[in-house]
Amino acid sequence: MIRDLTGILIGRDTSLRHALAAMNEGALGCLLMADDDQRFVRVVTDGDLRRAIMASDDLDQPLSGLSPVTPLTTSEDTSAATARQTMNRAKVLQLPVVNADGRPVGLFHLPSMDQPILLSAPHMGEEERQLVAEAFETNWIAPVGPHVDAFEDELADLVGMDGAVALSSGTAAIHLALRLLDVGPGDVVFCSSLTFVASCNPILYQGASPVFIDSEPESWNMSPGALSRALNDARAKGKPPKAVICVNIYGQSADYDAIGRICAEHDVPLIEDAAESLGATCGGKASGTFARFGIYSFNGNKIITTSGGGALVSNDQIGRAHV
Ligand SMILES: Cc1ncc(COP(=O)(O)O)c(C=O)c1O
């Protein structure tokens, strides 16, 4: 609710000229008219002003000449949801709030209320601006350059892995991990079931088949019990998965003590999808470092963003030479 009505409150005798200026300044598409006792009279919309001009081009005419309307108002205890319903029902964009004395004390303004709530607006500071300018100045626009090398080293240091490779997306990082593990047509890869589709898309890119492992209720991440049962089942059928992709959903670490142990028992490599959990730790260890490969995403809605980007981290330096 807008509580500061300064500038949009007008009297009955306000001139059309003054009202036009106030409407322009307030930028809400309406003014609130009150009488000499400050009691609410009516909403004046930009349409009302337009019609007044069409009726007479005398800009000094007082607004008291506007045709009367039955005012639609609400009380101070009205919730935003109720106000929205009232406005939608009445097909109006504004709903004045009046107190027990009938005086305007606020305004519900539908266009302002319908502003989208952004999921995660990126924050760009002065340092980012300088570094982007430096990339232009030194012409390191393509393909990589000293900043990408430094970024990879700093990322590996930060999370405590031997190496990091910057890539075009988190999806590309999962894809690369699967390629490094030689996943190909006819293979099966286990994947967390509650995740963004990008966790499993690269399995299909490689012509392999995903098998989804259910979540545990506590963390919504892969259930070690379900994984163990699925691995035993796969072993019994003679078709073990080529890899397991385990996701840390919403930044919360999966239970890698159990999942790592189970994968080791079955000799199946583990990929940790830490797309959403850069910076988190579990038992003092960085998220993304619990498996043979960890991946991060720098998509616009992630912890840090490069607009689009990702990284693969690993202690497997042979894999890195391969890349
Ligand atoms: C859990 C998870 N895995 C993978 C990805 C893929 O990352 P990207 O969008 O950078 O390809 C995302 C996010 O988009 C994600 O949330």
70-123 pLDDT tens trace? 889 999 999 999 999 999 999 999 999 999 999 999 999 998 887 777 888 888
Look at residue 297 and give its three-state secondary structure: strand
* Residue 91 is a catalytic residue: no
| CA 53 centroid distance within chain | 45
**What local confidence, expressed as pLDDT, does residue 323 receive?**
46
- Reported CATH class of domain 126-322: alpha beta
Does the CB atom of residue 199 touch ligand 1 within 6 A?
Answer: yes
27-53 pLDDT tens trace? 899 999 999 999 999 999 999 999 999
What's the 299 CA to ligand 1 centre distance in angstroms?
Answer: 7
179-229 pLDDT tens trace? 999 999 999 999 999 999 999 999 999 999 999 999 999 999 999 999 999
For residue 248, give the ligand 1 atom closest to its CA.
1
Look at residue 176 and give its three-state secondary structure: helix
Nearest to 226 by CA among 197, 267, 255, 185: 255
What's the 231 CA to ligand 1 centre distance in angstroms?
Answer: 25
List, in sequence order, every residue forming a beta bridge with 312; answer none if it has no partner.
165, 295
Q: Give the chain's largest Cα–Cα span.
A: 91
What's the 297 CA to ligand 1 centre distance in angstroms?
Answer: 6
Q: Inform me whether the pLDDT recorded for 237 exceeds 60.
A: yes
List, in sequence order, every residue forming a beta bridge with 165; answer none if it has no partner.
312
The structural domains of the chain, with segments of one domain joined by +, span 9-113, 126-322
Q: Inform me whether the pLDDT recorded for 65 exceeds 60.
A: yes
187-196 pLDDT tens trace? 999 999 999 9
Look at residue 47 and give its three-state secondary structure: helix
Per CATH, domain 9-113 is 1.10.8.60: no
What's the 287 CA to ligand 1 centre distance in angstroms?
Answer: 15
DSSP string, 103-135: -EEEEEEHHHHT----S------HHHHHHHHHH
Q: What crossing angle do the helices spanning 224-236 and 256-266 adopt, rounded to 10°? A: 10
Same fold, 9-113 and 126-322: no
Residue to mutate, 245, 276, 303, 305, ligand 1, most ligand atoms under 8 Å from C-beta: 276
137-181 pLDDT tens trace? 999 988 888 999 999 999 999 999 999 999 999 999 999 999 999
Tell me the C-alpha distance between 210 and 223, whole Å: 16
Structure tokens, 272: 């940790």
For residue 249, give the ligand 1 atom closest to its CA.
1
Residue closest via CA to ligand 1's atom 12 equals: 275
Tell me the C-alpha distance between 221 and 257, whole Å: 13
Find where tokens 């259930």 sit: 223
